[in-house]
Structure formats: C-alpha cells, structure tokens
Amino acid sequence: MSERLQPGDVAPAFTLPDADGHEVSLADHKGRKVIVYFYPAALTPGCTKQACDFTDNLDLLADAGYDVIGISPDTPEKLARFREKESLKVTLLADPDKKVTEAYAAYGEKKNYGKTYMGVIRSTIVVDEAGKVSHALYNVRATGHVAKIIKDLGI
C-alpha cells in the first residue's frame, strides 16, 4: 500500500480508459485544476449519490477552473451503463487492476460490520495546475462530500 498523499506531493501520473474506452491521462489536464475522486463501485447507492452530486455541481466547479475525474475498479462497459442510467457528466475512468487507485493510496484495509477486508477507500485528491496535490481527503462520506469540497476550495 502506498503512503497517503499530502499537499505539496506530485500527483502520480496516470492514463486510464474512460467509459467509451478512450485513454484519458492526468497530463491531458495540465494547466487546469483537477478533482480526482476514487469510489468503490458504479451503480451502487453511495457511489451513485456521489457521482450525481459531482454532476449537479459540475458547472460551478468548471467555472472555478476545476475538471472532475471519477476512478473506480469497474470496466469501461459498466461505467458506460452507470453514466447512461444516471445521466452523469463527470469523466469516469476504469482502473480494474487498481494500480492508479493504489498509487493514490485509495486502496487498503476497510472495516464494515466488524469485518476487515481490502477495498477502495472513498477518497478525493485535488491536483493544482502544476500537477501537485493541493488537498488529499481520505475516508470521505458519499453524501455531502461535494458540498464540503466546494466549501474547502472556497468556491
């Protein structure tokens, strides 16, 4: 498991397929601020709530200079179904081997109902125009998280 990212760290580079199978890289967003969020699984209640919250606030975030990228271990096909079913506008990327999720320290030990297991830790990393981490939030809640980010970023 990777060390958790801290403000000032260089954000790990990545290139992953989106819901349509097109490659998307962090480098494609150089010169823009990027909110990269990691979630456990498409088409689940909490992840749907979070993705819909980001979609609902996408114009506000874009006007403030932020791009939004959601990353999960799902396949591009499942991400496409998720996007269509929920009318999502955020960029969704597939990380089935969890290499990027691990590089961002968003994969690790979780506890649920007294059981310990390995899984995606719901996390949000904000990357500045220079590719450095400005905010690193781990173990975030799906509900109310986008409002908190907007407040923390002073938007």
Give catalytic status of residue 47 as yes or no: yes
**From 16, 34, 42, 47, the catalytic residue:** 47
Strand partners, 36: 69, 125
C-alpha distance from residue 87 to each of 19, 35, 81, 144, 146 (Å): 13, 19, 10, 19, 17
Please enumerate, as own/partner, the contacts of 84-87 that have beta carbons within 8 Å and a separation of 24 or more: 85/43, 86/48, 86/51, 86/52, 86/55, 87/55
Give 4: exposed, middle or buried? Use CB within 10 Å, 0-12, 13-18, 19+: middle
DSSP character at residue 5 = P
Catalytic residue positions? 47
